């Protein structure tokens, strides 16, 4: 049986403490980055960059741990125990972030192009059919975000639905309840539900493929350390984008290197990555030009509205200085790629 892959891994706050312990009482090397991010295949370029020696070539040490709980990660960023995290831009903007919270987005890493979505039961053919029905999901789940965005296009919102809050890992079982009109989930559960549910006529109602770029994972770093050590983070980005080049050139070799870090069979990781698009260096430049507005500005503006609608932000955030693409234009000038 395929094991569900979740972006959430609980009980690993100790990993953050371990990172802090590694450097406690000693002067930390300037070219060390401690990174904590969710258990999600989209972040595999970190492992491939390390195993292929790209960080070592830059004389950069990168440590990592899995943790999806922002209640752990944000305080660790504030104290300096953690330098880097990665997650969707919408999640990164959500409460408890304020304009004063540390964290600067310096790059993108992947885009969901079908890995996240909503499965609807029989009789639900359009998002408008959900109005007045029971919708199950986590409030900040990409599937819920997609639903809010689609509803806003017809003058509705999730406030017009009966929201049942669940753990996404339970979405397969939850959907078997006939009272649930639709459920927000992600791969591989998205496909599993449609294939295996007893509710004949169920289908994928919405997926991130319908709104490419809306569910974008970003690289967010500790603001004060980034400002003081910009070249260190340029080294990190070069490693990431070289690893993404490896995926483009030979996905199977990339997966063979990174699947063990997630403790999953390579074929399982390959199936899940079918709904993910890694952003190459050139694509990231399109999303985050050093001057002017790129694709990420549109996504950012959309989430200022979406998160307010879902009561996930206290107010709109400003694009700059929260998002800074200034490292990108000359990232590989005179460097190996």
**pTM here?**
0.90
How many separate domains does the chain show?
2
Residue identified by tokens 């078997």 is 176
Same domain flag for 138 and 98: no
Can you spell out the DSSP letters for 222-281? -HHHHHH-HHHHHHHHHHHHHHHHHHHH-HHHHHHHHHHHHTS-HHHHHHHGGGEEEPPH
Same domain flag for 107 and 225: yes
Whether 1 is in a domain gets the answer no
Task: Find the angle CA(154)-CA(158)-CA(163) to the nearest 5 degrees.
Answer: 150
Task: Find the angle CA(246)-CA(263)-CA(39) to the nearest 5 degrees.
Answer: 75
Same domain flag for 179 and 257: no
Residue 8: φ, ψ to 5°: -115, 130
- Residue 19: the pLDDT is 53
Where the chain has pLDDT below 50, the residues are 1-12, 21-27
Same domain flag for 155 and 132: yes
- Residue 68: the pLDDT is 80
Whether 45 is in a domain gets the answer yes
- Final residue of a structural domain among 179, 211, 243: 211
Same domain flag for 254 and 274: yes
Whether 146 is in a domain gets the answer yes
Of the candidates 85, 91, 88, 331, the one whose C-alpha atom is nearest the C-alpha of residue 223 is: 85
- Residue 7: the pLDDT is 41
Question: The domain that contains 169 carries what CATH number?
Answer: 3.40.190.10
How far is CA 15 from each of CA 34, 65, 73, rounded to the nearest angstrom? 11, 6, 11
Same domain flag for 97 and 234: yes
The whole-angstrom separation of Cα 64 and Cα 15 is 9
Per-residue pLDDT tens digits for 217-253:
999 999 999 999 999 999 999 999 999 999 999 999 9
How far is CA 125 from each of CA 114, 121, 130, 237, rounded to the nearest angstrom? 18, 9, 9, 42
Whether 88 is in a domain gets the answer yes
The whole-angstrom separation of Cα 38 and Cα 236 is 18
Whether 3 is in a domain gets the answer no
Of the candidates 182, 124, 148, 178, the one whose C-alpha atom is nearest the C-alpha of residue 302 is: 148
Same domain flag for 94 and 238: yes
Q: Which residues pair with 334 in a beta bridge?
A: none
The whole-angstrom separation of Cα 324 and Cα 75 is 22
- Final residue of a structural domain among 211, 244, 261: 211
Whether 48 is in a domain gets the answer yes
Of the candidates 289, 293, 291, 302, the one whose C-alpha atom is nearest the C-alpha of residue 328 is: 289
- Residue 23: the pLDDT is 45
Same domain flag for 98 and 141: no
Same domain flag for 102 and 53: yes
Tokens in use for 50? 């390390």
Whether 47 is in a domain gets the answer yes
Same domain flag for 97 and 221: yes
Question: Where in the sequence is the domain holding 160, given as residue range(s)?
Answer: 116-211
Instruction: Count other Cβ atoms within 10 Å, centred on residue 313.
Output: 21
The whole-angstrom separation of Cα 127 and Cα 105 is 32
Same domain flag for 51 and 191: no
Same domain flag for 260 and 273: yes
- Final residue of a structural domain among 211, 243, 276: 211
Whether 6 is in a domain gets the answer no
């Amino acid at each position: 049986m395929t094991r569900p892959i979740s972006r959430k891994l609980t009980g690993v706050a100790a990993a953050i403490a371990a990172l802090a312990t590694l450097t406690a009482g000693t002067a930390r090397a300037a070219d060390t980055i401690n990174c904590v991010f969710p258990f999600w295949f989209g972040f595999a370029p970190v492992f491939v960059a390390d195993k292929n020696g790209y960080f070592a070539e830059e004389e950069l040490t990168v440590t990592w741990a899995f943790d999806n709980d922002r209640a752990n990660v944000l305080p660790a960023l504030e104290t300096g125990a953690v330098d880097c995290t990665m997650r969707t831009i919408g999640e990164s903007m959500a409460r408890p972030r304020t304009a004063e919270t540390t964290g600067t987005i310096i790059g993108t890493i992947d885009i969901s192009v079908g890995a996240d979505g909503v499965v609807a039961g029989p009789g639900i053919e359009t998002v408008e059919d959900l109005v007045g029905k029971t919708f199950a999901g986590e409030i900040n789940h990409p599937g819920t975000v997609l639903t809010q965005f689609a509803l806003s296009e017809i003058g509705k919102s999730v406030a017009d639905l009966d929201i049942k809050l669940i753990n996404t890992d339970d979405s397969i079982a939850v959907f078997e309840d006939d009272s649930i009109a639709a459920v927000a989930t992600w791969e591989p559960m998205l496909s599993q539900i449609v294939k295996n549910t007893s509710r004949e006529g169920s289908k994928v109602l919405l997926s991130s493929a319908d709104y490419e770029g809306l569910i974008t994972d970003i690289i967010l770093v500790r603001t004060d350390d980034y400002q003081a050590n910009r070249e260190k983070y340029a080294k990190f980005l070069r490693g990431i984008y070289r690893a993404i080049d490896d995926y483009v050139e030979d996905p199977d070799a990339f997966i063979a290197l990174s699947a063990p870090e997630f403790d999953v069979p390579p074929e399982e990781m390959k199936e899940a990555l079918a709904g993910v698009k890694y952003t190459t260096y050139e694509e990231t430049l399109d999303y985050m030009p050093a001057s002017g507005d790129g694709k990420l500005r549109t996504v950012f503006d959309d989430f200022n509205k979406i998160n307010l609608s879902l009561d996930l932000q206290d107010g709109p955030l400003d694009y700059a200085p929260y998002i800074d693409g200034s490292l990108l234009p000359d990232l590989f000038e005179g460097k190996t790629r």
